[in-house]
Amino acid sequence: MENDSSYDDIEYYTLTKDENNKKIDIEFDNMDYNGTQMAYLGLTVQDSELPDDVYDFVIDPGHGGIDEGETYEGYNEADLMLEYAEILKTDLESKGYKVKLTRDNSNSETFTTDEYAPNGRISIACSTHAKYMISLHLSGTSSSYSGFEIYTPNDCNLDLASTMASNIFNTRISYSNLNSFKVLDGVYTQNFNENMIAQLANTANNNGYEPYDITTSTPYLYTIREVGGIATNAYVDGRNTNYSPNEYYTSNQGIECYQIYIGYFNNDLNYILNSKEAFASAIANSF
């Protein structure tokens, strides 16, 4: 089993359980076997505490900084999602998890809409080495749609997403009636399609850089894609100068991200304003 990455060895920490963690050292080496050099993968597991820079969860309140996100009747998405994120953080911490927010009052002045800069949401999230990322958003106003949507990576087991969806539904909000990309009630997976890929390739050619290796298995939502590393075909590496390079785009320790749209601003406003605690408990209890 040869190491085909740019990393020599890997340190992996499990999700906290009963105040305990395990550190798993993943090592690649060679040994002589009947006169033949064989590449192998070695695993060493030991009880450990999480280092200061390693977290169980990172929570990303959508938008922020100069970006208010969606707005409706005097409310804006960025402020509401920060309120949701702070309550969810408290709930997860009460269960013994170590949690980081991509933005809060401590970094509001330096937080940038350049997602891949050192103080942008992707870089902050990836630096946590978290196991899970919960990215919180609101859908805009709609005459047709209501309810919540959980977007998942395309290659993950859906049991957790299904559990979260069921728990959120029990807080008295409907599953979204959007059918595009739906895989289960309340659960969605959206990838690039061939037309999107062709448009991005055309943009790359017109701007003089090599097109990215985007396939129909590449997640469309950038938050899911870019924190997932090579597992989700992350691709922002600096060749498109409109974005800072994502220094984690080839990482083999990506974060499993779930992007949750809590509701549609106009049709679900009452729930959005009055169900923060119920929603947070539904997510926290899913783990």
State residue 224's pLDDT score.
97
| Shared-domain flag, residues 257 and 163 | yes
| Shared-domain flag, residues 97 and 213 | yes
- Integer-rounded Cα Rg, in Å, for the chain is 20
| Domain-embedded: residue 231 | yes
pLDDT digits (tens, 9 = 90+) for 66-97: 999 999 999 999 999 999 999 999 999 999 99
pLDDT digits (tens, 9 = 90+) for 231-267: 899 999 999 999 999 999 988 889 999 999 999 999 9
Q: What is the pTM of this model?
A: 0.94
| Domain-embedded: residue 228 | yes
Average pLDDT over residues 11-34: 92
| Shared-domain flag, residues 61 and 36 | no
Host domain of residue 15: 10-48
| Shared-domain flag, residues 192 and 213 | yes
| Domain-embedded: residue 1 | no
| Domain-embedded: residue 266 | yes
Question: Mean pLDDT across the chain, nearest whole number?
Answer: 95
Residue with tokens 């959206």: 190
| Domain-embedded: residue 185 | yes
**Does position 4 have pLDDT exceeding 90, yes or no?**
no
| Shared-domain flag, residues 184 and 213 | yes
> How confident is residue 3, by pLDDT bands cut at 50, 70 and 90?
confident
| Shared-domain flag, residues 152 and 74 | yes
As given in the structure block, the two tokens for residue 124 are 């902050």
Q: What is the spatial distance between Cα 115 and Cα 148, in angstroms, rounded to a whole number?
A: 25
| Shared-domain flag, residues 66 and 18 | no
Residue of 264, 194, 30, 33 whose CA lies nearest to 202: 194
Domain count, the chain: 2
pLDDT digits (tens, 9 = 90+) for 169-187: 999 999 999 999 999 999 9
| Shared-domain flag, residues 147 and 271 | yes
221: CATH = 3.40.630.40
State residue 109's pLDDT score.
87
Strands 10-13 and 21-33, how do they pair? antiparallel
| Shared-domain flag, residues 253 and 147 | yes
| Shared-domain flag, residues 31 and 118 | no
Distance of CA 284 to the CA centre of its chain: 16
* Bridge partners, 58 (sequence order): 100, 133
| Shared-domain flag, residues 102 and 21 | no
Burial 240-258 (b: 16+ CB within 10 A, else e): beebbebbbbebebbbbbb
pLDDT digits (tens, 9 = 90+) for 262-281: 999 999 999 999 999 999 99
**Does position 1 have pLDDT exceeding 80, yes or no?**
no
Q: What is the spatial distance between Cα 105 and Cα 163, in angstroms, rounded to a whole number?
A: 31
Q: What is the spatial distance between Cα 212 and Cα 207, in angstroms, rounded to a whole number?
A: 13
| Domain-embedded: residue 2 | no
| Domain-embedded: residue 5 | no
**Does position 7 have pLDDT exceeding 80, yes or no?**
no
| Domain-embedded: residue 244 | yes
| Shared-domain flag, residues 125 and 216 | yes
